[in-house]
Amino acid sequence: MTGPKWLPTLLLISIFQAITFYQVIFVDGKTNETALMVFAIYSAIEWLYSIASSIVLRKSSLALEFIAFFLTGISLVIVASSAPSLLVKQFIAVCIGFVLYIVMLFIIANVDRAEKFRIPMAAGAIILLVFTLIFARAINGAYNWIVIGGFSFQSAELVKVAFIFVGAATLEKLQSTKHLTAYVVFSLVCIALLFLMRDLGTALIFFFTFIVLAFMRSGDIRTIIFLCMGAAMAAGLIVLMRSDYVMNRFATYRHVWDYVDGKGYQQTRVLTYSVSGGLLGLGIGNGKLQNVFAATEDLVFGVLCEEWGILIAFLVALSFVFIFIHSIRCAKGSRSAFYSIASCAAGGLFLFQAALNIFGVTDFLPLTGVTLPFISRGGSSTISCWALLAFIKAADNRTWAGGKK
C-alpha cells in the first residue's frame, strides 16, 4: 500500500475499534478513563506509524501491521471488559512488543549482523529454559512462569523468537553436517526442557516450527521423516517420565460431556456459551464465559464467539490464515534464505498455535492450554507475537529501501 491507498483500511479498523472501545469506555453511565486513555494512545500509535511508514519512510504494504493492530485492539477491549484492572499492564506489554518489533526489524535488516546474534541467542534460550525449570512456579500444572519482584513472565514465549532466529541463521549458511547437528541438538534440548516443564502445548509448537525450519532448508521429505523419528523417540522417553501428566491432558478428549463439572468444565462451557452468541454476538461484556477460569487466555476464542459473534470470530481465525499465506508469498522473493526460512517458520507457528487454541477449546483437538496469538491476555505472549511478526515483515522486499513496490 502506497500513499493514500492504506487510508480506507486504517479508517475501517479505527471505526471498528471506536465502536468496540465505546462499549467498555461508557458503562452504566460512567466513563472508564483508563480505557479511554488506552484507546486514544493506541489509535495514535496506529496512525503515526502508518503515516511515518508510508509517507515519511515511503514503505509500502502495511497489511501485516494492520492485521496485528486489528487483533491487538480486540485483545485490549476484551481485557478492558473482563479484567479492567489489568488493562494498563496489557497495554504496556503491547507497547513493549511493538517497540521490539521495530528493534527486531533493525537487527535483521543486515543478515551478517544478525548472524552475530545466533550463538548468544541460542545460549541465552537454553539458559533461560533451564533457569525456568529450576526456579519456576507451578501454575495450572506447568512449571513455566518466572516471578521476579511481583513481575511474572513465561520464558518459553521469549524463547520462541530465539528458536526461529537461531534456526534461520544456522540453516541460511549451512556449511556442514556439524552445523545441522548442532541445531538439531539445540532444538531437541529446548523441546525436552519444555516437556520437563510440563508445557506440552508450547513443546508441540516448537516441534512443529522445527519441522518447518528443517523442511525449508532441505526440502527433502525423507530428512523430515528422519528428524521426526528422532524427536519422537526423545519425546517418548520424556512422556514415560511424565506419563500421569500427559494422560491427564488426554483424559477428557472427545469426552468432555462426561466430565461436565470436572475436567471438562471449561470446554463444555465454551461449547455451550459460544453458540449462544449467534452471528453478531451478545455484546461486549454480556457473556457468561468471561466468568470461567482462563476465559481471556486459553478460552478467549469462546469469548469472541459469545460476545462478538461468529462472524468476528471467523474473521479472527481467517487472519491467521492470511498471515501464513503472506509469509509464504514474501518468502518466495525475499533477498536472503534467512528471511525465507524465518518468515515461513513464523507464519507456520502463528497458524499452528491458533489451530491448537481454537480446535483445543472446541474439543476437536486435546486441550493444550496455548494462547491465541495477539488475542489472549498475557504480556509475554503479546510481546512474543509482535517480535515474531518482524520475521515475516523482513521477508517482504517492500519493507526495505529499493524493494519492489
> DSSP letter at 60?
-
Are 115 and 173 contacting, i.e. CB atoms less than 8 angstroms apart?
Answer: yes
Are 302 and 294 contacting, i.e. CB atoms less than 8 angstroms apart?
Answer: no
- Which one, of 231, 125, 224, 228, lies nearest residue 169 by Cα? 125
> DSSP letter at 59?
-
Give the chain's count of helices (H) and strands (E): 16, 5
Q: List 31's β-bridge partners, or say none.
A: 26
CA angle (292 as vertex; 287, 294 as ends), nearest 5: 115
- Other CB atoms within 10 A of residue 60 CB: 20
Reduced to 3 states, what is the DSSP secondary structure of residue 404?
coil
Q: How many residues does the chain have?
A: 405
Grid cell digits, residue 93: 506489554
Amino acid at 123: A
- Other CB atoms within 10 A of residue 255 CB: 12
CA angle (335 as vertex; 331, 338 as ends), nearest 5: 65
CA angle (285 as vertex; 280, 286 as ends), nearest 5: 65
State the pLDDT at residue 387.
95
Helix (H) / strand (E) element for 301: namely helix 300-303
Are 267 and 292 contacting, i.e. CB atoms less than 8 angstroms apart?
Answer: no
- Which one, of 282, 274, 285, 280, lies nearest residue 22 by Cα? 285
pLDDT tens for each residue of the chain, 405 residues long: 444 578 899 999 999 999 999 999 998 888 899 999 999 999 999 999 998 887 766 666 788 999 999 999 999 999 999 889 899 999 999 999 999 999 998 888 888 888 888 889 999 999 999 888 888 776 666 667 777 766 777 888 889 999 999 888 887 665 555 667 778 888 888 888 888 887 778 888 888 888 888 777 666 666 666 666 666 665 565 555 554 555 555 667 667 777 777 777 778 888 888 888 888 889 998 888 888 887 888 889 999 999 999 999 999 999 999 999 999 998 887 888 888 889 999 999 999 999 999 998 887 887 777 899 999 998 889 999 999 999 999 888 777 654 444
State the pLDDT at residue 218.
62
Are 403 and 114 contacting, i.e. CB atoms less than 8 angstroms apart?
Answer: no
Q: List 27's β-bridge partners, or say none.
A: 30
Query: CA 67 → CA 241, 255, 256, 278, 322, distances in Å?
Result: 41, 35, 33, 24, 9
State the pLDDT at residue 249.
59
User: Under 8 Å CB-to-CB from 219, ≥6 apart: which residues?
Assistant: none
Give the 3-state secondary structure of 232-293. Answer: HHHHHHHHHHCHHHHHHHHCCCCCHHHHCCCCCHHHHHHHHHHHHCCCCCCCCCCCCHHHCC
Place of cell 526423545: 234
Reduced to 3 states, what is the DSSP secondary structure of residue 32?
coil
Grid cell digits, residue 398: 517492500
State the pLDDT at residue 220.
61
Q: How far apart are CA 354 and CA 348, in angstroms?
A: 10
